[in-house]
Every structure is written in structure tokens, then in C-alpha cells.
Amino acid sequence: QKEVEQNSGPLSVPEGAIASLNCTYSDRGSQSFFWYRQYSGKSPELIMFIYSNGDKEDGRFTAQLNKASQYVSLLIRDSQPSDSATYLCAALYSSASKIIFGSGTRLSIRP
Amino acid sequence: SAVISQKPSRDICQRGTSLTIQCQVDSQVTMMFWYRQQPGQSLTLIATANQGSEATYESGFVIDKFPISRPNLTFSTLTVSNMSPEDSSIYLCTAGGRDYGYTFGSGTRLTVV
């Protein structure tokens, strides 16, 4: 059973701080990993993807991948109230041609 | 990233009828997927839409209920057949690639009455 696990939260972070979101996956065959942000009533929006070990930075966002530990994380620096949303972690299992999503982490940025 | 146009955005349907949802991608993509999202829950994969062959369905989803077409590398449809209130949900398509990520359509909010 291919699984992606996330803490459902809610995770509350003060404005301006770093928000850290974590995700683990069960199948070592997964090759690419994605972070989506979803506002209530909207479809998921892709904010980061990563497929190599290490860090990948894009503006205030940093994705981290550790394949040995089967662990993916997303850091949001200088958190803003507009970052309050549900963050979905997903893994692409190329061998099975499917993308599996975690249950999502609710993030709340408090002013 | 690919841009996906999905329609309809919402519909209210009578039980026993069928609804076809369309997704158009602005570029050729190998992989397209269809998901369902219940309120307050994560995304459940329905099937992978394969170009030129039958879709690959996940456990709990069958072709007779959710027929999928993929006539070319930019277009796919999902039909929800013989609908019941339990089919009320948001249906989403996604497409893209490993090297540039997968983007979602805006979703179809389906209500079956």
C-alpha cells in the first residue's frame, strides 16, 4: 500500500516566523514529490516540487527531500496571514503511474 | 507548468443521470489523472487517463461508473454515470510532468439531488 503521511494540524505559527511542514512516504519507488496549497473552496495550487535529495528554494519556500529517510518537508519563511491554508504533500510513483496525496496539514498564521 | 481548463465548474444533477467533465490542457502531456475530493478531505485518485489505451482505475472505482476518455495528449473527459447523492463531490483533473510538476484544473463541484 503506497501511502503519504502528514500531520493534519492545525499548525499555528506567528506572522513572520518559519512554518515547517513535514511529510513521509512509504514506497521507495516514489520519484518526485510535490507540495500544494489549497484554500477553502479552491483547487490545489502547486507551489513546489522536488526529485533530488537536498534542498530546493523558490522565494520564501524551501522544499527538502531525504530519500534515505523517506521524508519531505516544506519550509515557509516570513510567514504571512495569506499563507493560511491546507498544504498537501504528494508523491509520484512512476512505476505505478500515479500520484498519491497525503491528508493535508492545516496551517494558520496568526498576526 | 501546464494550464488546465476544466468544465463545468459546477452542476446540480438528478439521480440516475450522467455528467461528463472535460479537461483541456494547453500543452501535450503524457500523464493525466482524475481525483475526487469530499468536503474537508484530501484527494482520492479515481484513475489515470492513458492516451490511446484504457484508463487505469484505482480500487473502488470502475469503468462502468466512471468512464474516461483520452483521445489525445491535451484532452480528457470523465463521466459520472447513473449518479446517486453519494457521488456529490468535487472532481479534479491534473496533468503535467515529473520535471515541471502537475497542475490542477479549477474543479467541478457536483451535487446530485
Strands (DSSP E) found in A1-111: 4-6, 11-14, 19-25, 32-38, 45-50, 54-58, 61-66, 71-76, 85-93, 98-101, 105-110
pLDDT for B56? 92
CB contact under 8 A, A46 and B104: yes
pLDDT for A1? 65
Q: Is the pLDDT of residue B1 over 90?
A: no
CB contact under 8 A, A98 and B58: yes
pLDDT for B40? 87
Report chain A (111 residues): mean pLDDT per 10 consecutive residues. 86 97 90 94 95 94 96 97 97 83 96 91
pLDDT (tens digit, 9 = 90+) per residue, B67-106? Answer: 999 999 999 999 999 999 999 999 999 998 877 889 999 9
pLDDT for B81? 98
CB contact under 8 A, A46 and B101: yes
pLDDT (tens digit, 9 = 90+) per residue, B12-46? Answer: 999 999 999 999 999 999 889 999 999 889 899 99
How many beta carbons lie within 10 A of that of residue B60, not counting itself?
8
Interface residues of A toward B, Cβ cutoff 8 Å, are: 31-32, 34, 36, 42-46, 49, 51, 88, 90, 92, 94, 97-104
Whether the CB-CB separation of B79 and B94 falls below 8 Å is answered with no
* A93 contacts on B by Cβ (under 8 Å): none
pLDDT for A93? 83
pLDDT for A96? 67
CB contact under 8 A, B107 and A43: yes
For testing the chain B interface, which of A99, A101, A105, A106 should be mutated: the one with the most B CBs within 10 Å?
A99
